[in-house]
């Protein structure tokens, strides 16, 4: 067979294209996947006191940004990140530097166990009345070392206070709106339409207030958040918090097993004191207002519990009230290393809905109770984090520091 003659290929040399740095947009995915990664590691640590996402204009939602990187314009760097100060910490994926918790007015370690029980009194019918006062205010917070976010807050913190009541209590919340726009408090629970905390039913205008009142039910791990419009912005800016309703053990008298579990969840009982309980609100922050999160965290501060691991006594079980309020991502997750846990979806059951799992997914507003035991484990640091690797690298990475009795 005669040889086949292939057609000749003509190659054309392409001229290099000049790129205007002002056209670059260092989104979270480009930060993770592009040339900004250094040393073969998987995270750029966000550091430096000059890095700032400048406060958003609260009236028209227009954002302005400042970057102190030499030769970098705000248009080229909309998140305001100082790339010269992005660096690796010992080759690990964590931020470098410290957040000024005193300036923020809240501390992520203290927030883990900060239960707001309200002002308690007794009604003529014998029921317990719990009264709270919550104020909406605009406040800049530091969410990673040198990274600031123009938040909308309940009581000056993100997430807002963890309101903890008991099943059957009458709950009364005086909500004061000290911001420049309408806001609400919408509670996930059972209540009347006029107490729903939506436009037309409990939405105070700037300078106004509204009092919500309802019976606490059902028991479980719940949340509250602003339901004003645009909803995604009011959620993402920080107006959310946990709402925990402890079960009334007396309602479980006919079932000894359920009664014991209810007693263990009721704050202040000896059975509850045996547990190590923590509130963890999974959230994210869109620092350049492009509807993608650049920072992820538990309780708002990136890598807070990696830099300051949560100390636990392995002789006592752990109960985590886990709430997901992450906007712009369909799911978030909780994954535990070296161990498994039981999970109670929404916390509305006294027996687990999932047993012996090490990962659980939650959509936004989904929540549940995680119960863990390290009784048979050796001492050490046990990692837990989102099992979306991108989330973990951008801040949602934590550790339990497991120790013997006396931790």
Percent of the chain with pLDDT over 90: 75
Band of residue 27 on the pLDDT scale cut at 50, 70, 90: low
The CA distance from 322 to 143, in Å, is: 20
Q: Residue 172 CA to chain centroid, in angstroms?
A: 25
**Which residues make Cβ contacts (< 8 Å) with residue 291, sequence separation at least 6?**
232, 328
68: left (phi over 0), alpha (psi -120 to 50) or beta: alpha
DSSP 35-66: TT--TT-S--B---TT-B-PPPPTTT-----B
- Judged by DSSP in three states, 345 sits in strand
pLDDT digits (tens, 9 = 90+) for 204-252: 999 999 999 999 999 999 999 999 999 999 999 999 999 999 999 999 9
Question: Per-domain residue ranges for the chain?
Answer: 104-403
* Token digits of residue 1: 């067979």
Band of residue 28 on the pLDDT scale cut at 50, 70, 90: low
Strands 240-246 and 220-225: antiparallel
Mean pLDDT taken over the chain: 83
pLDDT of residue 167: 98
pLDDT of residue 319: 99
**Cα distances (angstroms) measured from residue 62 to each of 65, 150, 235, 254, 289:** 10, 12, 17, 58, 9
Band of residue 72 on the pLDDT scale cut at 50, 70, 90: very low
Least confident of 13-17, 32-36, 390-394: 32-36
Least confident of 24-38, 263-277, 390-404: 24-38
**DSSP single-letter state for residue 219:** -
Band of residue 90 on the pLDDT scale cut at 50, 70, 90: very low
- Tell me which of 253 and 68 has the higher pLDDT: 253
pLDDT of residue 95: 83
Least confident of 66-70, 123-127, 269-273, 341-345: 66-70
The answer to whether the CB of 174 falls within 8 A of the CB of 129 is: no
Out of 2.60.40.10, 2.60.40.420, 3.40.50.1370, 2.60.40.1930, select the CATH number for domain 104-403.
2.60.40.420
Burial class (CB within 10 angstroms; exposed 0-12, middle 13-18, buried 19+) of 324: buried
pLDDT of residue 2: 53
Judge whether residue 8 has pLDDT over 90.
no
pLDDT digits (tens, 9 = 90+) for 346-395: 999 999 999 999 999 999 999 999 999 999 999 999 999 999 999 999 99
Span 313-318, mean pLDDT?
A: 98
Judge whether residue 192 has pLDDT over 90.
yes
pLDDT digits (tens, 9 = 90+) for 119-177: 999 999 999 999 999 999 999 999 999 999 999 999 999 999 999 999 999 999 999 99
pLDDT of residue 209: 98
pLDDT of residue 255: 97
Band of residue 61 on the pLDDT scale cut at 50, 70, 90: very low
| Nearest alpha-carbon partner for 77 in 62, 61, 63, 65 | 65
Band of residue 62 on the pLDDT scale cut at 50, 70, 90: very low
CB atoms closer than 10 angstroms to residue 260: 13
Entry pTM? 0.81
The answer to whether the CB of 86 falls within 8 A of the CB of 45 is: yes
Least confident of 36-40, 188-192, 284-288, 329-333: 36-40
Band of residue 29 on the pLDDT scale cut at 50, 70, 90: very low
Judge whether residue 51 has pLDDT over 50.
no
Band of residue 93 on the pLDDT scale cut at 50, 70, 90: low
Least confident of 31-45, 80-94, 354-368: 31-45
pLDDT of residue 206: 98
| Nearest alpha-carbon partner for 244 in 136, 113, 106, 332 | 113
Question: Which residue bears the tokens 């037309």?
Answer: 200
pLDDT of residue 303: 97
């Amino acid at each position: 067979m005669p040889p086949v003659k292939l057609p000749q290929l003509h190659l054309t040399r392409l001229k290099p294209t000049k790129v205007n740095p002002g056209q670059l947009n260092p989104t979270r995915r480009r930060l993770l996947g592009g040339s900004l990664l250094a040393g073969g590691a998987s995270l750029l640590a966000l550091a430096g006191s000059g890095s700032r996402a400048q406060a958003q204009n609260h009236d028209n939602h227009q954002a302005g940004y400042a970057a102190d990187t030499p030769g970098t314009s705000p248009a080229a760097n909309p998140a305001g990140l100082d790339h010269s100060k992005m660096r690796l910490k010992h080759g690990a994926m964590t931020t470098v530097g410290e957040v000024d918790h005193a300036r923020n007015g809240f501390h992520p370690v203290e927030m883990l166990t900060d239960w707001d029980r309200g002002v308690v009194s007794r009604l003529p019918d014998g029921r317990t009345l719990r009264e709270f006062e919550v104020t909406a205010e605009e406040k800049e917070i530091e969410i990673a070392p040198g990274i600031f976010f123009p938040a909308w807050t309940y009581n000056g913190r993100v997430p807002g206070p963890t309101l903890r009541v008991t099943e059957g209590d009458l709950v009364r919340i005086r909500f004061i709106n000290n911001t420049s726009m309408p806001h609400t408090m919408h509670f996930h629970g059972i209540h009347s339409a006029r107490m729903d905390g939506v436009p037309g039913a409990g939405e105070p205008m700037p300078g106004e207030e509204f009092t919500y009142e309802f019976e606490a039910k059902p028991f479980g791990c719940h949340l509250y958040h602003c339901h004003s419009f645009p909803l995604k912005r009011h959620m993402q800016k920080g107006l959310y918090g946990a709402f925990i309703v402890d079960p009334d053990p007396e309602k479980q008298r006919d079932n000894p097993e359920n009664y014991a579990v209810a007693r263990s969840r009721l704050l202040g009982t000896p059975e509850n004191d045996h547990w190590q309980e923590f509130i963890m609100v999974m959230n994210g922050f869109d620092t350049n207002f492009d509807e993608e999160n650049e920072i992820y965290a538990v309780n708002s501060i990136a890598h807070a519990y990696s830099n300051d691991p949560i100390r636990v006594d392995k002789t006592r079980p752990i109960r985590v009230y886990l709430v997901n309020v992450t906007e712009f991502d369909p799911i978030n997750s909780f994954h535990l290393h070296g161990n498994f846990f039981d999970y109670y979806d929404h916390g509305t059951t006294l027996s687990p809905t999932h047993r012996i799992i090490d990962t659980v997914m939650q959509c936004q507003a989904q929540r549940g109770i995680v119960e863990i035991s390290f009784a048979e484990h050796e001492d050490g640091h046990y990692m837990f984090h989102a099992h979306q690797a991108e989330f973990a690298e951008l801040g949602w990475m934590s550790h339990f520091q497991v120790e013997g009795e006396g931790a």
